[in-house]
Chains A and B, each alone.
Chain A
Amino acid sequence: MRAEIIPAFFLCALAVPSWGQQNLEAAYRSTGSAVTAAFESQRAVLQTSSAVILEGREESGYGVVISPEGHILAKASEVIELKNPAVTVDRTKYPEVKILGVDPEWDVALLKVEAAGLIPVVYAPTSAVPQGTWVVANGATTRTTRRLLAGIVSAKIREIPASGGAALGVVLKADSKVLEIDAVNEKSGAQEAGLKKGDVILAIEGTAVRKIEDIAAALKERKAGSTVEVKLRRGKDEVTAKVRLAAKSELFSDQMNRNDQMSGDFSTRRSGFPRVLQHDILGSSKIVGGPLLDLDGRCLGMNIARANRAESFAIPVEDLKAIGARLMEWAAKPRGQDSVD
C-alpha cells in the first residue's frame, strides 16, 4: 500500500538556546567512538576482508573479499561506471581492477585485483537471525584504517519488488495508434539496447503488444535487472533488442516523496531485490557494497542499498554465496574459444 504517510516534522533549529537540558557527549552516542570501540574485533575483520573502492582519492563504495587471490563482490551500479577504479584492502592499494561479471538482478559485480594471500570473509551459517541482533558494517574510512558502524537487524527478510514495477525505460507517444517510442530514458536498459525515438514496439518475449496495457501485462511478473527480448519496427525493418528492465520509479525519479526528502542520501538503486536482510546502520549511501558482520565477525550478508533515512538493505548470506559462486563459475568459463582455436 502507498497511503500518504504522516511525516515526522523537520526541525530547522532549536531557536532558543536550551538550558537545564542534559546532553550525551558525541562519543557515547550509538555512532560515537566510545561505543564503536566495543566492536574492535569486528572492525578488524572489516580491515582485512572488506575492500574500499576508490575513484581517484574518493571512496565510492565498498566490497566483500571472497578469495585470497583478490575476488571481490561489490554493488554493480555503484562501480560499473567508474572510469578508473582502484581498490584498497587493509593498507594495500590495488590500482588495477577488472570487472569479471555482473549479476544485474541482484546488482552485484565480481571484481578482481591482482593479489595473493587476502583473507576472505567467513560466511555466517544463516541469515535467519532474530530481529535485534547486533550487526556491524563499514563506516567511513581513512587511507589505512577502516571504521565501523553498528546497528541491529531491524525487520523481516523479504523481497523488495521493483518500485513502480519493472520498466523498459521508454516514453510512448501519447496520440499514436501504435506503440511508438517518443523518448528513451538515459539511464535505462532501453538506452543501452539502442532503442530509438520513432521505434514501434511490436512484441515482448514473443507476445504481440498493441496497447500500453499489453506492455504492462508482459512486464508485470518480471523483475528489475532481468532482460526481455523486444521486437521493434524501425523504419521498414524489424529488429529485436535485449532490454534490461529497471524499477520504474528509479528511472523516472523526478518526484521525491516526503520520506525521500527527509532521507537526504539514498542509493540510486534501492528496490527490485529478490531478498533482503534489513538493518538500521545508516551511513552515507557510499557505504554500500561491504560486508554485514555479526558479533562473531562472520559475514551475514552484503550491504546493497541505503533505502532511506531509517532502512538499509543487505543481500542475505545464502544468496550472496550463491551469487558469488555463480559469478566465479561464469568468469572462469573459457569463452570465445572457437575463434581462438
Chain B
Amino acid sequence: MPLACRLKAVMKTLLTCLLLALPPWSGVSAAERLYVNDKKAPETRKDLEVIQNALISALPKTRAATVGIEIDEGSGTGVIVSADGLILTAAHVSGGVRKKVTVVLEDGTKLKAETLGLVADTDAAMMRITDKGSWPFVEIDREDSARLGDWVFALGHSGGFDKERGLVARLGRLVRMANSTFQSDCILIGGDSGGPLFDLGGRLVAINSRVGGELQENLHVPMSEFIKNWDGMLKGEFIGEGPFAKKPVKGSGFLGLATDARPAGGLKVTKVGKKTPAEAAGLKEGDVIHKLNGTPLAKREDLQKLLKEMASGDEITLELERGGKTETLTLNLGAR
C-alpha cells in the first residue's frame, strides 16, 4: 500500500528541530484562563471538578467540529475552523495539495472536500469542504496562549472511524513545548493523526501529529505553525521539503496511453495501458483527445509538454470526441 511506503520513508527522517524562543506572551484575559492551569497540580476535589466540568462542557462543540478524513487508502482526523468548512489537519494525513478527500462528521455524514496547502516540515495542512453548507467549527488559539502544564484534551478517530464508539477523548497536560512541537500526555494512536488538541476552554491549540515509543510521547503541531503559514496554505502551496509530505516531482505524472496526431486536429488514442489511470478513467482506443485542461492538442509533443509540467496526483480534465459526441473526463495522474 503506497501510503505506508511513503510513511516508512518519512519515519527514517527524524525530527531534529531547532528550537527557537517561544513567541512573546500575548494577552489572554485572566478570566478566560482557568486557575487550575496555573496550579502545579490539582490539590482538592474542587480543582478536579473544575477540570472535569470544563472538559465536559467543551466536548459537545469540539466534537461536532472534529471530522474523520478518508483519503487514498488511509484515514485520519481533522477539525473544522470556519463555518464555510476550512479544516486543519496534519500534512502526513493530507499527503499533497489539491487532492480529493472525503470528510466524515461524527454522525456518519460524508462530505466532499479537497486538500489545500501544507507545511511538509512541521506536519501542518489545510483542507476545505467543497459541499455547500454551514458547518460547526471551533475557535483557534490565535494568541499562542497555551502554557507548559496547561490541561488539554485530544480528540480523534483512534484506529479509524467507528460510529458506535464516536470520537475518543483523552485528557492530559502540555508537558513539553518547543517552537514547532508541543508534547502532551494525551495518549494518541494511529487514526488520531490530524485531530485536534484543545485547551479546557475548547480552543484549538494544536493538531495531533505523531507518537514515540513511550506512552508519554505524543506530539502535536502548535497553532503558531499554522498561523505563520496560513496564507500560503490557503492558496494551496506546498511549503517545506518534508519529512511529513513528499513534494510531487514535475514530470512524475503518468496517464498511460499512446496517441497519434490526426490531420483534422486532436490526438487519436491508439492504445490504453492496462491498470493505468487512463484505463481507470474509461479512456478507449479510438477516442480523440482535443483538449487537456482547456489547452488544444495538435501533436503528441503538445501532450507530452503539458504532462512534463505536472506531477502524480494532479487532476486533469480531458475533452474527448467519442462516436461523434463530445465528452469530458476528469482524472488524477498516477505515479510513473
Contact = CB atoms under 8 A, between A and B. Distances in A.
A76 B149 CA distance: 39
B258 interface: no
Interface stretch (B24-32, B70-78, B278-286, B296-304): B70-78
B45 to A, nearest CB: 7
B177 interface: yes
A152 B149 contact: no
Nearest to B71: A6
A4 B73 contact: yes
Given A11-B219, A28-B41, A4 B191 contact: no
Contacts of A24: 148-149, 173-176
A333 to B, nearest CB: 36
Interface string A282-300: 1000000000000100000
B167 A3 contact: no
B175 A11 contact: no
Contacts of B74: 3-6
B160 interface: yes
Given A18-B19, A155-B166, A4 B75 contact: yes
Contacts, number: 220
A5 B213 contact: no
A156 interface: yes
Interface string B86-130: 000000110000000000000000000000000000000000000
Q: How large is the interface on A (under 10, 10 to 19, 20 to 34, 35 or more residues)?
A: 35 or more
A1 B161 CA distance: 7
B210 interface: yes
Interface in A232-264: 258-259, 262-264
Contacts of B48: 38-39, 134, 295
Contacts of B14: 11-15
Contacts of A16: 16, 18
Interface in B128-181: 148-149, 153, 158-162, 164-179
Given A133-B56, A280-B186, 19 more contacts: A4-B4, A7-B190, A8-B210, A9-B92, A9-B209, A11-B217, A13-B14, A18-B17, A20-B19, A23-B176, A24-B174, A27-B41, A29-B172, A29-B175, A31-B185, A132-B55, A132-B56, A132-B171, A155-B169
